[in-house]
Structure 1
Amino acid sequence: MLKELFSKLFEKLKTESKNNSDSKSGCFNFFETHILEGKYHKVNFITSRSLTNYYNKYVEGIQNTAGEPNHELKNLIANYLGHNNYTDFENSNLKPKNKPFLENNTTTSFAKNSIVTIISILTVSFTSLYFMNTSFSSDENCIIWKDNHFEKSSCTVKNSIDNSFYKVSIADLKKTEVTKETSFFSDGKSLIWHGKSSNGKMEYFTHRGIHPETLKELKPVTTYIIDKYVVSVTKN
């Protein structure tokens, strides 16, 4: 069903009047900035690159590191496509299976009504379970940046980030200042990670993760980075 979800998302994005691109990167960038941020107020919720990876994996069958999209993203896409949520999208796209011919029309009618009743009950049950799960667990997966570290946050808070995708260790990741006297390595392993802010400033962190502004993966520091951005700046 994820193949149908991302395939229909891409096709609809290509029809948006304000979208000037029909490429994957262009369409998913439009979805990130105009739909998620503009319509649903989900700032920094997910990057267009991650959306492209999902499309490549589930629609085109290209193997990559993308996992399965979380429930909130699937619900947002389904809602954008005109459905109440992802469960509603699934039910609307179920392909009917061929049924054996039953000579007794009364039996056939009864069987059909029973199936419809069961599906309705299951739909209500799964929808209820989803919203219960969202209420009790989705908030646990969201984080927000405060000063120099991430904290747990409700997913409804503006600029919150779904950590079920990034797997950031909020206990270990903090922004830190460095000098040429800083201990950058231990037993050949990096102790500091780096990444540039949205305005291009090089910043440093105490653990692997993502940059809080750009959401790009932090990289372990190297001697080249130290010489270029730490030692040279200190000399100046």
Structure 2
Amino acid sequence: MEKNFHYLKTLKTKHKLTHKKLLLDAFNKAKIENGFNSKSHVTQFLSDYIQEDCGEPYGERILRNKYNDIISNKNEVIELRQFAAESLRNYLGYEKDVIVIDKKELKPEYSSFFVNHKMKLLSVFGIIIILLILIPITINTQRWMVWNDNHYTEVEFDLKKYNANQIKAFNEARILNFTKINPDCETQFFKENGLENLWYGKNHNKTLDFFTSAGLHPHTGKTLKPITVYMIKKYICPDYK
């Protein structure tokens, strides 16, 4: 075990890193360093690390599915989001080598693009025209809401009072159930059936905000992640069991 750990700590790449290699090496290192016995524990750990490293969510299910494709010897291309690949490289301590997917990039034939997609482009232009007609009608009949400190509030559509990116389509569930809170050790993090009661995401200041429902962060627009025991112990209640 110590020999394998030393190998992972000192390994440095010299050429191009494929996404497949990054994922395999990250899995091996996480297993050895943390003593994980299941893929679920490894993927949760790596998902949390990516979130902490770059501020972007990358689900554990995605990591687990891609890892399963590798170990089942499928000849599929393993392609991670670029920010996830770079975070895994940081986790492994690899040098700033070029990260590539394990296939050759295909160059589009721009010269024939418009010819081959003529009907699709015409359809898109038609949809745009229809939207330009319907949007003014929708604005006058649609209900709207804005984020107000720690909850959503219904408002009138008023671009003089609010920025366009502040105004969102009215959602009754968001009005009733979506609230930002400051959790502590007394917070009920999970329901009796084990489902999450709390979601989290980083704000523009790179600090964590916690919410009572799933959805998008009101300020960044990024998908919130369900709370985990790892995040509870690290950021909310170190003595949580």
Q: Which TM class, normalised by the smaller chain length?
A: 0.3 to 0.5
Report the TM-score, using the length of structure 2 for normalisation.
0.39
